[in-house]
Each structure stands twice: as structure tokens, then as C-alpha cells.
Amino acid sequence: MAIDFTFTTAQRELQLQSRKFARDVLAGAIACETLATPEERFLATKPIYETMVSAGYLRKCIPAPAGGEGGGLVDMAILAEEFYSVNASVTLTMLGTVLGLLPILLGGTPEQCGRLLAPFLRISGAPLAGFCFSEPGGSANAASPSPGEGVRTIATLTGDNWTINGRKKWVSSATGWDRKGADMLCVVCRTDPDAPTDKGTSIIAVEGPAPGVTFERAIDSIGHRAHLTPVFGLQNVVAPRHNLLGKEGDGLTLAMGAFTGTAALVGIFGVALMRAAFDFALRFAKTEKRGGIHPIIEHQAVGYALADAKTSMESARYLSWRACHALDTQSPGAEELAIQAKIYGSETAVRVITELMRVVGIESYDHETPFGRLLRDALALPIFDGGNMGVRRRQLHALLMQPAYDPLTACGGVG
């Protein structure tokens, strides 16, 4: 067996190209976060997003078998770290669109993939997709049987069309650039109200902008200030029968498959934010004397704090890479590793950024430094994409309780 974290030539090129694009293009969009309203901030990023699309980065996130240029989750993690460390908002708009397409990529037929993915394979425009899972009132118990509600959005089949009614929340870019709806919405909904929730829920692709997508408000989120997460309704939204993804009733299984893939990337998001905070803190410690005679990095307390932060960051990066590789190769233990990467990377980011603020001291409380932005963005990581308490630890708990669970599977040591 060989364990090798060496990049291929193509991966190293992807890293350097992404780093340069982030520095030259994405950094300039940080100013969008200072505008007055969530929609103003989001709309101001549209030219930057268009540049990302025209540079081919959305195509690089869509797998090659589906017509894109993506080489797998490891490659996406390399790209995501470079982008997210510079501008989390615009990066999340692109990767939220990729999440919106995942039910098609995982559950779509060849015909559906060819037809529905076409707008996202072009290197022009600003196409958006949203994965419409979360609902007002929460979705941690999406499969809850009666008397629990579970998924509350309903789709009724009449002839050759589904008619969808319900409300959704926290779906990246779902109402599009103009409140009329994203170019593609993959909607988790009840297609058989008489069946148990886990057997009567499906995912239907809605090609947009679709009449009946009704904007309610843009959430004024703590972090990701220039990224749009709306509350919106689906009022008699119509989609053709043939836009059902996968088998009817298998929607929650398909949804969990999509969220397993994104879990490892959330770990990388945490790495990216830690990296940006560490870079600033290290430069600060090497140049600032704070009224003394030596740069503060020469003080043991500062040096040890930086060493601990760097160790935590590298641990999160390699766990996330391991999870991405396991998912790419469909290795045993991939689900466990992905969830662990999400939990560890997200919670470590909040802790490490806070600790690095102590290294810098009161200056870190000034918006002239990046710490406020980085910490606000980090606060989302433990609670979105399946909250660590309400969803992710429960998933790990369920794995541990399985009679056939082998604790050595994740490290490749299964007997």
C-alpha cells in the first residue's frame, strides 16, 4: 500500500491557477460585503461570478463524465481552499450551485443530465442552481413519521406534470439574481402524502426561472455577507413528470448522498478560513513589537499559539483530503470520513480563528484586519450543510450502532 499526498502536475497547476484567480479577481469582491442590504451585496458580486464562469471554474466542478472538466472531489477541494480563503461569499455562490446540481449528477438519467446540465457547462452567463432541502421550522428531522411533520413541501402529479407547493429557506441563490428563481432548483418534496416520509419523498428538478417561485425575504446572515440565502415560497410551481430524479420515494436517500459529498468540502472551508487567519497572524507576529524590543513571535506564548494553530489546520486539511479521496474512489469508510471532516474542520476553524485573534490582540477587533469577516464566515460551518449537532453527529452515531460496523474501516484496516 502507498500513501501519497503528492499533487499531480495537473493538480499543482489547478492550485496555482486558482490561487492567482483568487488574488487577482475574487479579492476585489470583498468590498461588496459592505453594501447596505443582502440583495445589494449579492447583486454586486454578479460580474465576479460571471468572470468565474467564463474562466471555466464552474465547469471544473462538474465531473468529466457529465460533460464538465472536474477530476473529482480532491481537485474540487484544492480549488475550494484557494477561493474560499480569499472570498467565501462568491465561492459559496459557485459551490452552492454545484450542490444544487448534485441530485442531477447522482440520480439523473443520461437524458436528464444532458438536458438539465447544459446551461451550467457553458463558459458564459451567470447560471445559478439551488438544492431546495431546508424549510422554515427546520429540516433536521426531514424523515420524521407522523405525528412529526418531516418534509412539508408537497408535489402533486396531474397528467404529465408535477405541481409543487411549499416553502423553503437557507437555499443558496435559490431566487436568482432577480427574485424570479434560479436557473435550476432541485426540490425535495412529498410526492406520496400517504406513505411514510422516508418512503414518500422525492426530488424534482424545476427549470427556471419558474412562475410561482415567490421571494419572501433575503436573510441578513451573520457571515457570507455577499451570498444570497432567501426565504421563498413555491406556489403551484409546475415541472414535467420526466424531471423526477431517481426513483419516486427515494428523495431522502438521494439528498443524503449529495450532502455526504459536500461534507468533506466544508472541512476544507474551515481550512481555508484558518489559513487566511494564520497568514495574517504570522506576519503580524513577525513584524510587530507592541512597544517592546523584539517581534512578538519571539515570545514563547505567541510561538506556541501559532504552532498549535498550524497543527490544527494541517490536521483538518489532511482529514478532508482523505475523505475526498475516499469518496472519489468509493472506498469503505468514505461516509464516516466525510462527516468527521465536516465536524472537525468546521469546529476547529471557529476555535483556531478565535485563538489567533488573541495572538494579534485588540487589533484583531478592527475591520482593517480580516478576523471579523473570517470568524463570521466560520460560524456558519458547524451549523449549515447539516448541523453538527442536529444531523452530522447523529449520522456518526447511527454508523457506530450498526451491527456490522468495523472501527478500522475508515483507515483501510477492515478485516
For 84, the grid coordinates are 474560499
- How far apart (Å, rounded) are the C-alpha atoms in residues 306 and 298? 11
Q: Which of 379, 49, 400, 13 is nearest to 221 (CA)?
A: 379
Exposed (0-12), middle (13-18) or buried (19+): which is 17, by Cβ within 10 Å? middle
By the 10 Å C-beta count (0-12 exposed, 13-18 middle, 19+ buried), 304 is classed as: exposed
User: Which letter, b or e, does each residue of 122-144 get, where b requires 16 or more Cβ atoms within 10 Å of its Cβ?
Assistant: eeeebbbbbbbbbbeeebebbbe
Active site residues: 385
Q: 196: how many CB neighbours lie within 10 A of its CB? A: 14
Angle of the 251-287 helix axis to the 88-107 helix axis, nearest 10: 150
- Per-residue DSSP letters for 100-147? HHHHHHHH--HHHHHHHSHHHHSSSS---EEEE---TT--TTTTPPTT
Number of CB atoms found within 10 A of residue 269's CB: 32
- Bridge partners for 168 per DSSP: 232
* Of 192, 210, 328, 206, the residue nearest 247 (C-alpha): 192
User: Residue 104 and residue 116: Cα distance in Å, rounded?
Assistant: 8
List of residues 6+ apart from 255 with CB closer than 8 A: 103, 131, 133, 142, 188, 203
C-alpha cell of residue 295: 517581534
| Calpha distance 282→32 (Å, rounded) | 27
E strands of 226-294, at which residues? Answer: 230-240, 244-245
Tell me how far apart the alpha carbons of residues 345 and 312 are, in angstroms, rounded to a whole number: 9
Cα–chain center distance at 253? 19
* 34: DSSP letter: G
